[in-house]
Chain A
């Protein structure tokens, strides 16, 4: 391997897509989620739950897959009022972790975003481009984590293998 990195394709996460005004969301979820992030393209965390603010009135909740059922019960996607949208999207994204000394170098091959810590801090999370695909990018311990549309997972694995060969 030409770069000192560890690359791991993650197993499924519980993911829910949330849309609607912050007030309507907060009213509906009643404390089931971490506090809404104050800044766009940032995240908050409580226990095992992450909440990503990825667009205007748009969030993604992420949790270990084991919590998917509990979250489904708490968020009640099919029952929520007309002014908010909650959709389970756990299977739509495949997450990868790139960690190690040269994680930033490998990410620089994949992604045009400035991921330097002065521009992309520990709480940053944003959609960007990764090997030409729409991708959700964030930091993790020792490196970076990103997610792409699940059907592209094999292609991303292919790319990362080539990049680090």
Chain B
């Protein structure tokens, strides 16, 4: 019968809006305002899940994020996994499935595990699956014990969003305490950010029949919400969980139903001046044999389903409690027409105020439940005296339990604020705040409405803790953590094996590690440990509360960062031209997208690279060198500053001239290589590698701010003020002439390592004669506004000379042929300039420079070092993988080097390579051996230069 457990009236659902949904392939109906859990209960669905390890049948136990038992996987446009059914809003067309069962929770083949329960205690797999290797068994175990899989596809529509916010006060929770705090702060003019995880404001008032000032409490809530809505200084979000509390009062909020249809979820990063934690309290379970059977629920959840959703989860109810709050539940059930068979109270004396609420209902004090009859639904419970003795079975179909209340201190603890154990409440409560925060209401241990809101009326809270039922003859597993199938016996085992710290117990048993974060059971684990060890709970303490408080979508954390903006990227004005001309684009350091190579139709990478290299070596090529880091330095102390940060001397340069140099880090290793040019007496320009531009900038600023604060050096980054087209090759000068320039290009007037300002192709330009290819090169720098046009003119002017655009693959080949170093290849964080054969760059004249002492110290220790050499495979057609090791004789021994690069050289018509080889400089002419998988490649050790060793071409 459809919605057989739905009450005829009542509840905060819209009965005029029926919704169709499916659960495990079967169709059901609910109402707008339902959760999946309330709709399933309304339809009489008892078995909703199977447990994690033993595959025991489970039903719905809670009504909110504390739900430990029923996790579901959603299909279709809601696709997501491991969602507590209690937190899934019902919508038309919703399709959900139970996790961890096959073919269904009613009949699950994995249920066979129940036959072997006694052989599967906590940590059994650590001990059992050791031979031959744990990893052999791991996949099967994970599959058997798994939860839902991640959705196979990204959401079909919409996107996630992450947003920042600032507030004078952030209030987590819009229950009575949170609303009261929001009203007071907002009325005082503060910027208020109020976030609540529920669909509606009101917190516990949503499901309790309480009054404030003689009126229904929800009327007070409606008034408060309306007043807040009218205030511009208030942001009030529902369906928004504050799930993380970070340093400096940074809190993260997951909003699940933003107002825009296109936004799936929104993550708020809120900086708050002060934080008010009004997260309420969570009811805890009671621990006894069979306490996980479908039909065993939290008492407050039963109350919520009856009052808020108009659902009666059972018709004959037994309540089991150790505190007063269950009496209000019993009273509400009676009003709803549900038969309350008995209230079993573990306390010997029940306060009169509680008894007054339940006149006519049988109350058995000093009584506990020791066992439950029924496999897939509760049929009866066994009531026994708390101090032992004969028991009686009470027939029922629902057992509502209340083990007391825990202030929801997750956020408080995440802020690193401290907790104290309150003996009167038998719960951990907020103690000393570490950040600017305060807890209020039930989160602070104030568990009755009359102490939160003026005029509130509530039953006084009294409790006598019951951490577990411990009576003789008790049968069945008593679960502490229902989600992870952790029973009392598991904790006892952990203690016997020496894991007696709360954190160790957690790791060994997995108690409290699930999606529910042990909201209903952690305190019982702590209590069980305390009982077993005979120490107070305060001494056992809690485990660390970590974010997230409730599960959060990865998408919400990532926000917009997906697809094309997953990583930052940078373009030059020529990027589009490169794409339009078929370039294969690469990420090339510092987030620049650069062309790797320009294949023609039918060409592979090697063919395209050979063609580009041949153009540079025999004719002319051009590449976009804009990404190189460029800085302008100004001030009287720039010369001595450059002399300090470069290993060679720069201060002797005359205006118009430049010099190549190495920058070292403090430890004497190579930070970067580049060139410095003197623009005039006090103005300099330096150029760095693309990938290390930021690191060089940071190093310079750090030195100026910490070591030389009185030096007059002012640095301006001009990487994006200058773009350049670098024309390189024997025909480069002809192309420059064809472009048209007022600069005298003759080698005498414009030699290598100098620059000239003038015009090129009609654009103001700074032309620099440097070469990273070993050929005659002109680096034509112009403002980016002119770059695309300049590029077009270069291609046009170069066409008669067969000019080709050159990608980074070819640049790599050309520099290897010349033996020019590359950061990340030859400069690998272990070598110094001497290792690279660049001792000439280490000034002997300067008294000091950065890294000098470290280099000297390291080299004074003696010993051999890996040094840069060239290598020629004996088989000229045999390529060598970059990174391959060199070993003595190619044997399986400790390496004495590695191949840093190997390329097909068009000028040598063979493969050539560079390597770092132990004592390499002294081994030129020797045969070394590269060890690769299933082969050894003999190579001849040479000087690390294969083209124009005298450098005549680049100076031509």
Contacts and interface: CB of A to CB of B under 8 A. Distances in A.
Contact of B163 (A19, A109, A159): A109
B682, B716, B784: residue with the most chain A Cβ atoms closer than 10 Å: B716
Interface string B11-48: 00000000000000000000000000000000000000
A12 to B, nearest CB: 6
Contacts of B565: 131, 155, 158-159, 162
A112 B565 CA distance: 18
B161 A109 contact: yes
A66 to B, nearest CB: 13
A112 B260 contact: no
B164 A112 contact: yes
A153 B571 contact: yes
B714 A2 contact: no
A87 B721 CA distance: 10
Interface stretch (A29-37, A41-49, A89-97, A135-143): A89-97
B269 A112 contact: yes
A87 B720 CA distance: 13
A108 B267 CA distance: 11
Contacts of A133: 568
B718 A92 contact: yes
Nearest to A12: B785
Contacts of B683: 78
A132 B721 contact: no
Contacts of B677: none
Nearest to B682: A82
Contacts of A88: 721
Contacts of A91: 720-721, 783-785
B67 to A, nearest CB: 32
Interface string B709-721: 0001010111111
Given A91-B784, A116-B191, A152 B163 contact: no
A123 interface: no
Interface string A95-131: 0000000000100110111101011000000000001
A17 interface: yes
B116 to A, nearest CB: 52
Interface residues of A, number: 43
B162 interface: yes
A19 B704 CA distance: 14
A151 B720 contact: yes
Nearest to A116: B166
B568 A19 contact: no
B712 A159 contact: no
Interface in A68-100: 78, 82-85, 87-93
Contacts of A132: 568
Contact of A162 (B159, B164, B166, B681): B159
Contacts of B140: none
A40 interface: no
A22 interface: no
A158 B564 contact: yes
Contacts of B636: 82-83
B166, B261, B559, B635: residue with the most chain A Cβ atoms closer than 10 Å: B166
Given A12-B785, A105-B163, A83 B720 contact: no
B271 interface: yes
Nearest to B633: A85
B908 to A, nearest CB: 37
B263 interface: yes
Contacts of B163: 105, 108-109
Contact of B632 (A2, A87, A90, A153): A87
Nearest to B261: A2
B419 interface: no
A116 to B, nearest CB: 6
B316 to A, nearest CB: 51
B717 A92 contact: yes
A158 B565 CA distance: 7
A158 B636 CA distance: 43
Contacts of A85: 632, 634-635, 714, 716
A118 B233 CA distance: 11
A89 B716 contact: yes
Given A151-B570, A159-B560, A89 B721 contact: yes
B572 A151 contact: yes
Contact of B271 (A3, A89, A114): A114
A19 B715 CA distance: 9
A23 interface: no
Nearest to B191: A116
A89 B718 contact: yes
B721 A82 contact: no
A13 to B, nearest CB: 11
Given A87-B632, A91-B721, A112-B269, A20 B680 contact: no
A112 to B, nearest CB: 5
A8 interface: no
B106 to A, nearest CB: 43
A54 to B, nearest CB: 12
B634 A150 contact: no
A126 B376 CA distance: 64
A13 B817 CA distance: 43
Interface in B563-600: 564-565, 568-572, 575, 592
Nearest to B158: A165
Contacts of A111: 164
B705 to A, nearest CB: 10
17 contacts: A2-B260, A2-B261, A12-B785, A19-B634, A20-B714, A82-B635, A87-B718, A89-B716, A92-B721, A111-B164, A116-B166, A116-B191, A118-B191, A150-B720, A155-B565, A155-B569, A158-B564
Interface of B: 159, 161-166, 191, 260-263, 269, 271, 559-560, 564-565, 568-572, 575, 592, 626-627, 632, 634-636, 679-683, 712, 714, 716-721, 783-785
Leading 4 A-B pairs by shortest Cβ distance: A85-B634, A151-B570, A85-B714, A114-B166
Given A78-B679, A150-B784, 5 more contacts: A83-B712, A85-B714, A90-B783, A114-B166, A163-B161
